[in-house]
Amino acid sequence: MPKLAAQFYRPQTIHEGKLGVLEPAQRLAQLRQQLQKASYAYYVLDAPIMEDSVYDQLYRELQALESQYPQWITPDSPTQRVGERPASQFTSVRHRISLYSLENAFNLPELRQWQERWQRLAPDVPDAEYVCELKIDGSAIALTYEAGVLVQGVTRGDGTTGEEITQNLRTIRSIPLRLALDSPPPIVEVRGEAFLPLAEFHRINQEREQAGEALFANPRNAAAGTLRQLDSRIVSQRRLQFFAYTLHLPGQEEQITSQWQALEYLKQAGFVVNPHCQLCPDLTVVTEYFEDWEGARQRLPYMTDGVVVKLNDYALQERLGFTQKFPRWAIALKYPAEEAPTVVKDIQVNVGRTGAVTPLAVMAPVQLAGTTVQRATLHNQDRITALDIRIGDTVIIRKAGEIIPEVVRVLSELRPTGTQPFQMPTHCPECNSLLVRPATEAVIRCINSSCPAILRGSLVHWASRDALDIRGLGEKVVVALLQHQLVRSLADLYRLTESQLSQLERFGEKSAQNLVQAIADSKQQPWEKVLYGLGIRHVGVVNARVLAEQFPSVAALGQATVAQLAGVYGIGDEIAQAVFDWFRSPANQALLQDLEALELTLARPQTSVENASPRSLTGKTFVLTGTLPTLKRQDAQTLIEQAGGKVTSSVSAKTDFVVVGENAGSKLAKAQALNLTLLSEEELLALLVSETT
């Protein structure tokens, strides 16, 4: 049973007994009600109230519970039927051939399990060719051509019966009214996806906003709503597009024997086929295709949330057949969800190194964007009030490029009884000082400069890999140093002795010696790392490097005006003001004098830059794989391209550098096999700095 599901009905309480966990029967009833409501809104009203990834996870939880408690399965459960009936505004049409939905795989192990299942049904076929196609986020459509002429277009509906919307589909220019074939067959059925390009989606929403109309939630919702317009002129104005992905030739099946051949036939007949489909000889190449498009899909002019994988051979497809709901020969491999549901177990507050007091939701573990998430930021009291989030709530969390995920909304329909609204504390949980909320900010802060939490955060940040990179100085050691009152500032680190460190638990002579040496070695770290380590608000790794390049010493940066700072490309007013204010603080000025006396690097070395080339990476090709420690994939790509380099999605013998992060996939193995140069994020940044100075 999925770990997430178990959290709902485990026979124990959460949050120290303050709230009971729902019984299985209660949770089953709530899930059915919520999923039925979401399904009706999606299929009948065309007004989705829930993202696909959220629906999928709640549906899986329901399946798991019903598997555990089969005696409570009811005929009206969403798991007992394929889909909802179509809306009644259009004529209902029964499909000649059912439009089955696809089974979902949410990771590569599930893809391999799918392969193992079909291989058990065809043990004489050890492997087979696959066709990979991007899963377009639109509306499935069935088109019927008689003697080469379009005679009918129908929505998917429930897979058996759909809605006849031929007149609306005729307005889509990428759907041919007559097939481009000299001798078209008597009947051709074409299946494909009608979708709204992102540019059109934004244009339509701008027009709706100006007209005071409700905005579409996403391109899929907009496409579905457009197709069901009674006035085809409105459909024409919205410029939908169509990708064809399969066809049926009743009575002439022998003409097309594979999915790849079907795609070629569709192109010859005048349809647009997604140009990124690929014939793959085995599952390894399928995996590479999936991984390549995980990042590249963000640059497409339309939405896609996964890859459809099909067995290429039609004879093998026919042999494998269908389950009650899905074809056994195809699967939708979804990219990690950027939104997911989970349950709030507790709400805690954290005091950061800037004194900001941030509430955090502690949740049942859930997979999100490829990682296991248990904490999500709640930002501030205003956000808590707007969400009305409570301990025990089922919530939707999102990881849209942020390091710490955030709660998007609460599913109040699933809220247990007896919950209480959460209120932020009035005093600092670390030093008990009265918290304040500056007039221009939404956060509350501890303004006690001696607060242990502020100093602890500053020390941990200073020692981090992207700052001074002091090996052995982790959070546990920092806590111990503070408990023994051995440090009261960043500068105090450089006064530590081996005998002092030997007082700490688990510190022997050798470990104390190593840490003292590591602290001493950090004095050699360059100016941009010291600047990042100072922990100035809003100044990250990239901004610190940009500022260090423009202001080659601490003196130059300290003398810069707000206008001079804001004039640096990529800095802006907020960062400029934060840097300016930091240097005006007497405590910070004293710290810098202390660090200078301790001989830390507070300026860039004197080098000649007159002959430097601003595009010194021109002609170099990079591939990014895995999750980088601090840089987002797009930020890394931008830095490379600004230096003249090129970023591609596939590793080849022509690749110059492969930048490797955590959880790197098959690209790393391929790069190693080709003996290519591998770079860490730190090495990439060093290369960029060295190549531009």
Q: Which residues are catalytic?
A: 135
Query: Which helix (DSSP H) or strand (DSSP E) does residue 35 occupy?
Result: helix 24-43
Quote the crossing angle between the two packed helices 681-691 and 633-642, to the nearest 10°.
20
Backbone angles phi, psi at 255, to 5 degrees: -70, -30
CA distance 543 to 378: 26
Picking from 536, 527, 589, 588, the residue whose alpha carbon sits closest to that of residue 565 is 536
Supply the DSSP symbol for 414: G
DSSP 62-111: HHHHHHH-GGG--TTSGGGSS-PPPPSSS-EEE-SS------EE-SHHHH
CA distance 581 to 584: 5
Give the HSE-up count for residue 23: Cα atoms under 13 Å, Cβ half-sphere: 3
Largest Cα–Cα separation, the chain: 92
Burial label for 506, CB within 10 Å (0-12, 13-18, 19+), is exposed
- Indicate the SS3 state at residue 305: strand
CA distance 383 to 357: 13
* Contact (Cβ atoms closer than 8 angstroms) between residue 301 and residue 197: yes
CA distance 29 to 601: 64
* Contact (Cβ atoms closer than 8 angstroms) between residue 389 and residue 415: no
Supply the DSSP symbol for 403: S
Buried b (16+ CB within 10 A) or exposed e, 255-278: ebebbbebbebbeebbbbbbebbb
Query: Which helix (DSSP H) or strand (DSSP E) does residue 377 occupy?
Result: strand 371-377
In one-letter notation, the amino acid at residue 652 is: S
In one-letter notation, the amino acid at residue 293 is: W
* Contact (Cβ atoms closer than 8 angstroms) between residue 376 and residue 359: no
Burial label for 295, CB within 10 Å (0-12, 13-18, 19+), is middle
